[in-house]
Amino acid sequence: DPQLNPAYVFDSFIEGDCNRVARRAGKTVAEKPGASSFNPLVIYGGVGLGKTHLGQSIGNEVKRLHPHKIVLYVSSEKFINQFQDHSRNNAINDFIHFYQLIDVLIIDDVQFFAKAEKSQDALFAIFNHLHQSGKQLVLTSDKPPKDLDGMQERLLSRFRWGLSADLQVPDYETRIEILERKMKNDGLELPKDVVKYVAYNISNNVRELEGAMISLLAQSSLNKREIDLDLAKKVLRNFIRTSSKEITIDAIQKMVCEFFAVPYDKLLQKTRKREIVQARQITMYLAKAFTKNSLKTIGEHFGGRDHTTVIHSCQTVKDLMDTDSLFRENVVELTQKVQLAAM
Ligand code: ADP
Ligand code: MG
């Protein structure tokens, strides 16, 4: 099937918190097409987060498990173009009839229907017929159905009949796993510190993550040079966003409170409990490292403490990091979280 890329299978689609619901629903749909309540299954998410990969995985898996079923994966653009051709040739009925014979219809990027009113009519007729016959529909979209402007309300209400599941940006650990899987599949190996560097710094979407890895490999073979962290830093300069957003003291306070399960008000009060004192000191340390606020302003954010308290806190954190490895791990992990949030 020329429409389905054999590399896009569930096995190569790494699961993480970012995509668990969508991936599992996709598997269910592939195992029991038309027979679950996930009909239609709508998978939505931003660019490069895996909509096409997941949609195609469903198609490939249906073909593997149910070889007699008719599966069609089609991009919305192609659907719309085909429809317009048939419309010009007065063959709309042929077009609709063709789609009504399909058991599992996967339509990618349905947001493109927004400007195609007539194509929406055809999609509506096809959707109704397939759904009534217990056939499976899978749709992907760059927005949740409720935000698809320019789409007929009767279509949107049908999109909501089944399950809408989103794809989000994978977290750091999942990005590492994705890179490791890609390397394994392509028979490549990058040093661990380079993998971490890439995963850490390329955090917008998976396509960019792959792009970064490919440029790295290209540079390395071009310059006949081993990939090390130095080379990675040079190559990835283009990828890493230069305009990082300014993170606020409030945001850091929230992250630390969440991390240590410390109530926010305790952080500001004069509590002397050790855990809380440490959480407060770490927060001040991070606020000094990651914001442009003065020591005075930072102190004011902690229930009106003065700048010498902030200086003392930062020094204490540095000292403890040298002597207490658990403490250091916590600070390192929090530092990573704050850096990620600031990108
Ligand atoms: P979209 O259609 O949402 O723009 P794609 O499905 O084209 O995104 O994904 C972009 C790239 O990222 C593809 O090469 C895909 O294989 C890869 N990708 C996305 N998510 C994952 C994942 N969870 N595991 C492995 N690869 C992924
Ligand atoms: Mg896509």
Q: Looking at residue 245, what is its pLDDT?
A: 64
Q: Which ligand is nearest to the CA of 51?
A: 1
If you average pLDDT over every residue of the chain, what do you get? Answer: 91
Q: Is the CB of 53 under 6 A from ligand 1?
A: yes
Q: Is the CB of 207 under 6 A from ligand 1?
A: yes
Q: How far is the CA of 332 from the centre of ligand 2 (A)?
A: 35
Q: Which residues contact 324 (CB under 8 A, 6 or more apart)?
A: none
Q: Looking at residue 332, what is its pLDDT?
A: 83
DSSP classification of residue 321: H
CB atoms near residue 169 (< 10 Å): 18
47-79 b/e with 16+ CB inside 10 Å = b? ebbbbbbbbbbbbbbbbeebeeeebbbbbbeeb
H-helix or E-strand spanning residue 137: strand 136-141
Nearest CA to ligand 1 atom 6: 50
Q: Looking at residue 246, what is its pLDDT?
A: 72
Q: How far is the CA of 69 from the centre of ligand 2 (A)?
A: 24
Report which residue type is found at 92: I
For residues 315-329, average pLDDT = 88
Q: Looking at residue 239, what is its pLDDT?
A: 67
Q: Residue 336 has which token pair?
A: 């990573």
Quick check: ipTM above 0.95?
Answer: yes
For residues 76-100, average pLDDT = 96
DSSP classification of residue 32: S
> pLDDT digits over 35-50, tens only?
999 999 999 999 999 9
CB atoms near residue 81 (< 10 Å): 13
> pLDDT digits over 251-279, tens only?
999 999 999 999 999 999 888 899 999 99
**Greater model confidence, 102 or 324:** 102
Q: Looking at residue 292, what is its pLDDT?
A: 84
Q: How far is the CA of 23 from the centre of ligand 1 (A)?
A: 12
Q: Is the CB of 19 under 6 A from ligand 1?
A: yes
DSSP classification of residue 2: T
Nearest CA to ligand 1 atom 11: 207
Hey, which of 76, 139, 141, 207 would you mutate to test ligand 1's pocket, going by the most ligand atoms within 8 Å of its Cβ? 207
Q: How far is the CA of 163 from the centre of ligand 2 (A)?
A: 19
Helix (H, G, I), strand (E, B), or coil: what is residue 254? helix
Atom of ligand 1 nearest to the CA of 16: 23
Q: Give me the CATH topology for the region 172-236.
A: Helicase, Ruva Protein; domain 3 (1.10.8)
Q: How far is the CA of 56 from the centre of ligand 1 (A)?
A: 11
Q: How far is the CA of 50 from the centre of ligand 2 (A)?
A: 7
Describe the chain by its helix, strand, coil percentages, rounded to 5: 60, 5, 30
Nearest CA to ligand 1 atom 5: 50
> pLDDT digits over 152-185, tens only?
999 999 999 999 999 999 999 999 999 999 988 8
Residue 46 exposure: Cα atoms within 13 Å on the Cβ side: 10
Q: Which residues contact 47 (CB under 8 A, 6 or more apart)?
A: 142, 205, 207
pLDDT for residue 343 is more than 60: no
Say how far apart CA 29 and CA 40 lie, in whole Å: 9
Q: How far is the CA of 148 from the centre of ligand 1 (A)?
A: 22
Report which residue type is found at 263: P
CA of residue 71 relative to chain centroid, distance: 26
Nearest CA to ligand 1 atom 25: 13
Q: Is the CB of 176 under 6 A from ligand 1?
A: no
Residue 156 exposure: Cα atoms within 13 Å on the Cβ side: 13
Q: Which ligand is nearest to the CA of 109?
A: 2
Superfamily name and number for 10-166: P-loop containing nucleotide triphosphate hydrolases (3.40.50.300)
DSSP classification of residue 246: P
Q: Is the CB of 50 under 6 A from ligand 1?
A: yes
Q: Which among 172, 230, 236 has a CA at the least distance from the CA of 199?
A: 172
Q: Looking at residue 240, what is its pLDDT?
A: 62
Q: Looking at residue 243, what is its pLDDT?
A: 43
pLDDT for residue 333 is more than 90: no
Q: Is the CB of 47 under 6 A from ligand 1?
A: yes
**Greater model confidence, 243 or 55:** 55
Say how far apart CA 146 and CA 56 lie, in whole Å: 24
CB atoms near residue 29 (< 10 Å): 26
Q: CA angle 134-135-139, nearest 5°?
A: 130
Q: How far is the CA of 52 from the centre of ligand 1 (A)?
A: 7
Say how far apart CA 146 and CA 294 lie, in whole Å: 44
Q: Looking at residue 151, what is its pLDDT?
A: 96
Please say whether the beta carbons of 216 and 236 come within 8 A: yes
Q: Give me the CATH topology for the region 249-341.
A: Chromosomal Replication Initiator Protein Dnaa; Chain: A; (1.10.1750)
| 104: phi then psi, degrees, rounded to nearest 5 | -130, 110
Please say whether the beta carbons of 146 and 156 come within 8 A: yes
Report the percentage of the chain scoring pLDDT > 90: 72
Domain extents in the chain: 10-166, 172-236, 249-341
Q: Which ligand is nearest to the CA of 167?
A: 1
> pLDDT digits over 207-256, tens only?
989 988 888 887 777 777 788 898 888 888 766 654 456 789 999 999 99
pLDDT for residue 27 is more than 80: yes
Say how far apart CA 50 and CA 302 lie, in whole Å: 42
